């Protein structure tokens, strides 16, 4: 027991005390027009390169998003003890972690190049299709948090799951690239398919009005000029998309634990969870240069994620077009079909109120009696979980103290 505790302590001490990665050479402005080339500089085997600076991630639009990997998918720099600690923490907090993933996925679908691929696959543009897609996503991520990480693909649920997801990404990329860049180039989205689609105009107007009237700085309302959305050439599944999707899973727990009610998150928990997602990102085909979880230390990681949130994530929800709303609304309906406590209006309201941290008078007025009831049910459920966790922690602490007292008796 003592040896195990010392091992974990030493592992986390190393993670805090040493740099987790090596800074790469900055990318020149010209690289934004051509795929990023491999650096010829030598990197120690067990130390990855840190990711590019946040503004340079956009160069990944022109880089294949599912890079080849060895059979075991794991990087040479993986720290299995640390990654396993990240899994344990995620599993212990799975309701709150899952909630953060929902908010992250709502944001990431606002990126036009990414939602174009999803609309192209015809697997996410209705509530029923979205339900199937996101139920599958939940199942895969749950496997990643609860399976066993080891250096073999034999009977390994995690690696089998990662291979399955990589296969889906590769198929989507090949089909999308053929559509955009083949003998008969066409846009990914067939706009005629969506001409008669009805969206909840009142809900979206309230959402946009609350955003417009907020105190979010102007710089976080404008999409960076280097990002060309659905226009121009890009890989159907690319490294920029992968980086933004990675943030959907890791960003909010590390950056805003209190906003998703992870009130007792410790630095060592966040370090471990972040390393887990660095490993998962690598396995899914993200190059180190675009693997946002590869930062020198936790402080830098939080600063980096703050920049992504303010400069990449927030601007997208200020600039939603019709097709993005179609896909996002289908996603919201899909979440409700998975758990009816998650209604579309309440999810959008909570995205603005709890994550963006702005007043939501217009969204509140849009809530139906059903929405209000589901909000109350959600808060009651959350309070019950919080009280149960506190009670469990109290019991464990009391048990430990009693055992310590008894061990000192003659």
172 and 247 inside one domain: yes
Please indicate, yes or no, if residue 227 is contained in any of the structural domains: yes
Place of tokens 């109350």: 376
Q: What is the DSSP string of 283-332?
A: HTT--GGG-TT--SSHHHHHHHHHHHIIIIIHHHHTS--HHHHHHHHHHH
φ/ψ bin of 356: left (φ > 0), alpha (ψ from -120 to 50), beta (otherwise):
alpha
Is the CB of residue 16 less than 8 Å from the CB of residue 44? no
Please indicate, yes or no, if residue 41 is contained in any of the structural domains: no
pLDDT tens across 174-229, in order?
A: 888 888 888 888 888 887 888 788 999 999 999 999 999 999 999 999 999 888 77
- The per-residue pLDDT for 34 is 36
396 and 272 inside one domain: no
Q: Using CA atoms, how far apart are residues 323 and 115, in angstroms rounded to an integer?
A: 8
Q: What is the count of structural domains for the chain?
A: 2
**Percentage of residues in the chain having pLDDT higher than 90:** 54
Q: Three-state SS for 101? A: helix
Q: Residues 6 or more apart from 106 whose CB is under 8 A from it?
A: 328, 331, 332, 347, 348, 351
Please indicate, yes or no, if residue 311 is contained in any of the structural domains: yes
- The per-residue pLDDT for 182 is 85
271 and 312 inside one domain: yes
Q: Using CA atoms, how far apart are residues 126 and 332, in angstroms rounded to an integer?
A: 10
233 and 374 inside one domain: no
- Whole-number average pLDDT of the chain: 84
Q: What is the DSSP string of 163-197?
A: HHHHHHHHHHHHHHHHHHHSSS---S--GGGGTT-
* Two tokens, residue 216: 């979010």
Is the CB of residue 22 less than 8 Å from the CB of residue 47? yes
399 and 328 inside one domain: no
Confidence tier at 410 by pLDDT (50, 70, 90): very low
Domain of residue 378 covers: 370-410
63 and 155 inside one domain: yes
404 and 334 inside one domain: no
Half-sphere exposure of residue 324: CA atoms within 13 angstroms, side-chain side: 19
Q: Note the pTM of the prediction, 2 decimals.
A: 0.83
- The per-residue pLDDT for 5 is 40
Q: Find, among 103, 92, 86, the residue nearest to 388 by Cα.
A: 92
- The per-residue pLDDT for 388 is 55
Q: Find, among 98, 201, 211, 186, the residue nearest to 145 by Cα.
A: 98
Q: Find, among 14, 72, 13, 69, the residue nearest to 47 by Cα.
A: 14
pLDDT tens across 295-354, in order?
A: 999 999 999 999 999 999 999 999 999 999 999 999 999 999 999 999 999 999 999 999
């Amino acid at each position: 027991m003592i040896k195990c505790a010392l091992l974990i302590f030493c592992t986390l001490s190393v993670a805090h005390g040493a740099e987790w990665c090596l800074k790469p050479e900055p990318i020149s402005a010209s690289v934004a027009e051509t795929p990023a080339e491999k650096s010829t500089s030598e990197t120690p085997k067990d130390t990855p390169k840190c990711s590019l600076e946040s503004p340079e991630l956009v160069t990944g639009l022109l880089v294949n998003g599912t890079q080849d990997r060895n059979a075991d998918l794991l990087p040479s720099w993986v720290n299995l003890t640390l990654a396993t600690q990240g899994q344990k923490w995620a599993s212990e907090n799975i309701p709150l972690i899952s909630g953060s993933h929902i908010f992250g996925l709502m944001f990431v679908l606002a990126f036009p190049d990414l939602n174009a691929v999803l609309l192209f696959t015809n697997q996410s543009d209705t509530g029923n299709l979205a339900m199937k897609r996101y139920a599958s996503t939940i199942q895969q991520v749950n496997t990643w948090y609860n399976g066993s990480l080891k250096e073999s693909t034999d009977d390994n649920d995690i690696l089998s799951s990662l291979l399955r997801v990589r296969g889906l990404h590769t198929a989507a990329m090949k089909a999308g690239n053929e559509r955009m860049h083949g003998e008969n180039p066409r846009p990914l989205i067939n706009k005629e398919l969506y001409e008669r689609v009805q969206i909840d105009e009142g809900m979206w107007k309230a959402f946009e009005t609350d955003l417009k009237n907020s105190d979010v700085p102007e710089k976080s309302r404008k999409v960076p000029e280097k990002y060309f959305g659905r226009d121009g050439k890009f890989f159907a599944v690319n490294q920029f998309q992968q980086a933004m999707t990675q943030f959907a899973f890791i960003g909010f727990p590390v950056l805003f634990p209190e906003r998703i009610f992870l009130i007792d998150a410790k630095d060592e928990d966040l370090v471990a969870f972040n390393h887990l997602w660095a490993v998962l990102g690598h396995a899914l085909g993200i190059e180190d240069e675009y693997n946002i979880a590869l930062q020198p230390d936790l402080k830098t990681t939080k600063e980096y994620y703050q920049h992504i949130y303010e400069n990449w994530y927030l601007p997208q929800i200020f600039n939603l077009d019709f097709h993005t709303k179609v896909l996002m609304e289908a996603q919201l309906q899909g979440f409700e079909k998975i758990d009816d406590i998650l209604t579309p209006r309440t999810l959008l309201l909570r995205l603005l109120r709890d994550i963006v941290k702005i007043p939501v008078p217009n969204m509140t007025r849009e809530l139906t009696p059903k929405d209000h009831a589901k909000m109350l049910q959600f808060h009651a459920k959350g309070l019950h979980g919080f009280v149960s966790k506190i009670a469990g922690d109290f019991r464990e602490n009391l048990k430990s103290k009693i055992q310590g007292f008894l061990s000192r008796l003659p």
